[in-house]
Amino acid sequence: MDRKLLYLFLLLTFTAQSQIEQGSLFSEVIGKNIKKFTQNSQKAYEVHDFERADFLFDSLINNVINGSYLDNFKVRKLSGRKIDLYKFDKPIFLMTYASWCTPGAGEVPALNDIAKKYYKDIDFVVLFWDSKEKVRRSARKYSSKIRIIYVDEKENKNDHIVEIMKHSLGFPTSFFIDENKRIVDVRRGVLHPYNEKYEISFELNYNSFLNGISLLKNLGNESKDHIASKQNR
């Protein structure tokens, strides 16, 4: 009997520790805060107070989303086969998109260049909210170093996680996620005026992507330094 009680105690302790270590899920924290954020943002846009709108977005990211954990849900590869989003085991650069979004002239080339340089250390993933046929057409622009996946919302009408992730922050939105699926940062796509020059678009997007990737690279270096210091003690 005592042994059973000890086992139960250890099980409950382990479960509690796991919950503390995991922290809150993205869907949970965004679900609690998105209504107020949306209302305040709409008010700011109505009076053309774009500085206020940007401040609200940054506050949501820094004070609510960063540090939460990405939810796991089913996505499809271009082959149509379903996989878990957690199948990607490296740190993840995840960009959400839709085929009807018009990227800046240098956006995709900039992402392709970044992916070719860092794909060995980071999983580059573009998640389309779209049908298989439309995604396949859009996928042709991307490097083979970038994983293209999609979610057809017609198949996920009752999936709360998909609804939250797709409709809360808009797209394109970039998520920078460490190997434990913790969200390190979230950034909107670079705004681009029509007829902007390719060189300007490429540089703006390249610098934006690289800045986020640097966060993930620095986290990896800090982890390696920590392990090395422990081994040398």
Domain check: are 48 and 84 in the same one?
no
Q: Note down the domain range covering 57.
A: 35-65
pLDDT of residue 113: 96
pTM: 0.80
- Give domain status of residue 15, yes or no: no
Q: 158: pLDDT confidence band, cut at 50, 70 and 90?
A: low
Residue 4 inside a domain? The answer is no
Mean pLDDT for the stretch of residues 155-172: 74
The sheet that has 82-84: what strands, in order across it?
82-84, 74-77, 146-151, 123-129, 92-97, 173-177, 183-188
Residue 92 and residue 170 in one domain: yes
For 141-161, what is the mean pLDDT?
84
User: The domain that contains 193 carries what CATH number?
Assistant: 3.40.30.10
Share of the chain above pLDDT 70, in %: 80
Mean pLDDT of all residues belonging to the chain: 82
In a domain, 21, yes or no: no
Q: Which long-range contacts (CB under 8 A, 24 or more apart) does 200-207 make?
A: 200/106, 201/104, 201/105, 201/106, 201/107, 201/110, 202/105, 202/106, 202/107, 202/109, 202/110, 203/106, 203/110, 204/104, 204/106, 205/104, 205/106, 205/107, 205/110, 205/111, 206/106, 206/110, 206/113, 206/114
Taking only the tens place, the pLDDT of each residue in 2-52 is 554 444 433 433 333 343 345 699 999 998 888 899 899 999 999 999 899
pLDDT mean over 171-188: 91
Q: Which amino acid is at 53?
A: A
155 in the same domain as 58: no
Q: Domain tally for the chain? A: 2
Rounded to whole angstroms, how far apart are CA atoms 208 and 149? 22
On whether both 169 and 197 belong to a single domain, the answer is yes
Is 155 within the bounds of a domain?
yes
pLDDT in tens, 48-79: 998 998 899 999 999 999 999 999 988 999 99
